[in-house]
Amino acid sequence: MEQLLDIQGLSVEVLNGGRYYKAVEQVGFQIGKGETVGLVGESGCGKSLTALSIMGLLPETARAGGRVLFRGRDLLSLTEEEKCVFRGRDISIVFQEPMTALNPLVPVGRQIAEAFLLHHTGSRAEAREAAIGMMRQVGLSRAPSLYWEYPHQLSGGMKQRVVICMALINRPALLIADEPTTALDVTIQFQILELIRQLNRTLSATVLFISHDLGVVKEVCSRLLVMYAGLIVEEGGTEDVLRHPMHPYTRQLLASIPTAQNRGRDLYSIPGAVAPLDKRKPDVCPFSDRCAQASAVCFSAAPALRGLNGRRVRCFLAGGEAIERC
Amino acid sequence: MIKKAGRNTNFKVGAILLCLFLILLILSLICTPYDPNKMNTQAKFQPPSFQHLLGTDNFGRDIFSRVMKGAQTVCFVGFTSVAIGLAAGFILGAVSGYLGGPADEVIMRLMDAQMAFPGIILALVLITLIGPGSVSTALALGVTAVPRFCRITRACFMQIKELDYIKAAKSRGASVPRLIACHILPNMLSPLIVTATLAFSTAILAEAGLSYLGLGIQPPQPSWGKMLFEAQAYLLTNPWYAFIPGCMITLTVLGFNLLGDGLRDLTDTKTL
């Protein structure tokens, strides 16, 4: 499969109180053309920072290292002008919060048309046609009149469709969806997921889907990356990872999903919390302090991401041989 | 919005006062009852009558005509100084708020230095340097208004540039000038307009003060502040002469202040 995005050794450092802390470390993965890849992990594990560094939208207090190759070009080394060209044309992003992702003073249609005009030399009328066409495609009814409406007149689900419209109007090769359904209620969530799946098929868009919700990710993604404390801890096909999770973190994450079987009982939650940036220890397993299976080896060194049965996992205990030891 | 404006007393009273001011201004552009500078020594200190609606001054000039002409001066100085202050303040504030870092530090310390200096004294120094007159008055008052606009612009920029829709616009590939013109500026218009309205009234007051001191508008060009100064000598014998320009200054400044306050209440979007 042709590689569209190839991230190598990406690290993001965040400035906090005059010091830089590593919030994302040694993140490396590939996304093939047409694939839908999920990136999961709890809040604060570096998912969004990874997405923002692909887009070159990191806040001023953060800096990225490593390489982000998109069609062989390193996005991290682009100048500001070059970034303006690829953003929105080659790679687009849908943010989590549709309520605030739209300028309150500009009609929604014109915001979609703006995205079109920034990358096409067309007239305003053409941009309007394109915008209305795209609005129909994402299932917004009465698109021509909706074009002139302001964000406050739209519901949350409609706004998220508008945001998706904006991201897709230039047919980007890669769509990054950063928790696109988190702020929506469950029925709308399902519709948006259905829409992303359908657009992935019809527009053959490659999707990097970021979420903290494994239930959502398994609906749309063929491959899964699990992140913890700025590191990728497990990677593999969605089915494999969900059926046979190798990393204890993934296992516990799965155990925390409410299902019909554990109805009425207390919901399982992973004890503890992700260590804050200044308390992270680089020389032990990052999950060791919350892991039920942690053994001496986990506190002695940091595990590397290693290949195992066609998947990758960052755990000493995975694969059987170490589990017997503990 | 219009309904809300109708219920806001500040806004209503301010708007009415300014409408009266505007009517006076427009009429003065068409014609005045007398030539405002024509002296008539036979008709000095006439009390208000049908011939001279507001009486005549110490040179026998028609006060009503001079008040009308004075409105033009007020308007010129107000608009020019606010325009200068707004333009310079916006550019400095935008650079400061958008870039941050050393540029922000340098600009803000310069503004602090200027604010530490009393505005009217700074204006006096500037006028002494470039010479009195309506243009230099407007320029001097414009310069003193810069920090005010600079600070409000900076604050708005710092707040708005972090918002999601700015990030979203960036992710579409919008360039920085486009980001500022289409997405940041429209969202900070209301505080800017309110500040401009209030700065207008400050400018009127300062112009009257400077003219009173003899450094602002030069005779025979009519100015309310200058009229007040001239009337001072005859306060006991002809009180209405001082009363009229004083009233005009008070009402106009009051009008702008009330309008500014009303606009601030009306455009306050804390709930958004």
**Is the residue at A191 inside a domain?**
yes
Sequence-separated (6 or more) residues with CB below 8 Å from residue A106: A114, A150, B182, B183, B186
In terms of domains, do A119 and A22 share one?
no
**Is the residue at A303 inside a domain?**
no
What are the structural domains of chain B? 14-25+59-271 (1.10.3720.10)
Q: Do B163 and A106 touch (CB under 8 A)?
A: no
Long-range Cβ contact pairs of B109-117 (< 8 A, separation 24 or more): B111/B146, B111/B147, B111/B150, B111/B151, B112/B147, B114/B144, B114/B146, B114/B147, B115/B147
**Is the residue at A216 inside a domain?**
yes
As a whole-number percent, the residues of chain A with pLDDT over 90 amount to 11
**Mean pLDDT confidence for B87-102:** 92
Question: In 3D, which of A67, A166, A123 has the Cα closest to residue B170?
Answer: A166
Tally A–B CB contacts below 8 A.
Answer: 67
Last residue of a domain, one of A155, A171, A187: A171
Q: What pLDDT score was predicted for residue B272? A: 38
Asked whether residue A323 carries a pLDDT value surpassing 50, the answer given is: no
Q: Do A118 and B173 touch (CB under 8 A)?
A: yes
Asked whether residue B271 carries a pLDDT value surpassing 60, the answer given is: no
Pairwise CA distance, residues B39 & B50, whole Å: 18
Whether A79 has its CB under 8 Å from any CB of chain B: the answer is no
In terms of domains, do A163 and A184 share one?
no
Reduced to 3 states (helix: H, G, I; strand: E, B; else coil), residue A70 is strand
**Mean pLDDT confidence for B210-220:** 84
In terms of domains, do A237 and A144 share one?
no
Whether B236 has its CB under 8 Å from any CB of chain A: the answer is no
Whether B167 has its CB under 8 Å from any CB of chain A: the answer is yes
| Residue B20: CB atoms within 10 Å | 13
Q: What's this model's pTM, rounded to 2 decimal places?
A: 0.79
In terms of domains, do A125 and A56 share one?
no
In terms of domains, do A176 and A165 share one?
no
**Is the residue at A244 inside a domain?**
yes
Residue ranges of alpha helices (H) inside A76-155 are: 80-86, 108-117, 124-137, 143-146
Q: Measure Cα distances from A192 to A37, A245, A288, B80, B85 in Å.
A: 16, 27, 36, 53, 49
Whether B133 has its CB under 8 Å from any CB of chain A: the answer is no
Q: What pLDDT score was predicted for residue A157? A: 84
Residue A129 lies in domain: 104-171
Q: What pLDDT score was predicted for residue A1? A: 63
Q: What pLDDT score was predicted for residue A320? A: 58
Asked whether residue A121 carries a pLDDT value surpassing 70, the answer given is: yes
Asked whether residue A260 carries a pLDDT value surpassing 80, the answer given is: no
In terms of domains, do A128 and A11 share one?
no
In terms of domains, do A177 and A86 share one?
yes
Sequence-separated (6 or more) residues with CB below 8 Å from residue B129: none
- Token couple for A3: 């590689």
**Is the residue at A68 inside a domain?**
yes
Q: C-alpha angle with apex A262: A249 to A212, nearest 5 degrees? A: 40
The tally of CA atoms less than 13 A away on the side-chain side of residue A268 is: 13
Pairwise CA distance, residues A315 & A302, whole Å: 9
Gap from B131 CA to chain A (nearest CA, Å): 45
For residue A84, the chain B residue with the least C-alpha distance is: B173
CB < 8 Å to B187, chain A: 103-105
Read off the pLDDT band of A301 (50, 70, 90).
confident
Read off the pLDDT band of B77 (50, 70, 90).
very high
Q: What is the DSSP string of A186-216?
A: HHHHHHHHHHHHHHHHHS--EEEEEES-HHH
Whether A101 has its CB under 8 Å from any CB of chain B: the answer is yes
CB < 8 Å to B167, chain A: 57, 95, 101
Total domain count, chain A = 2
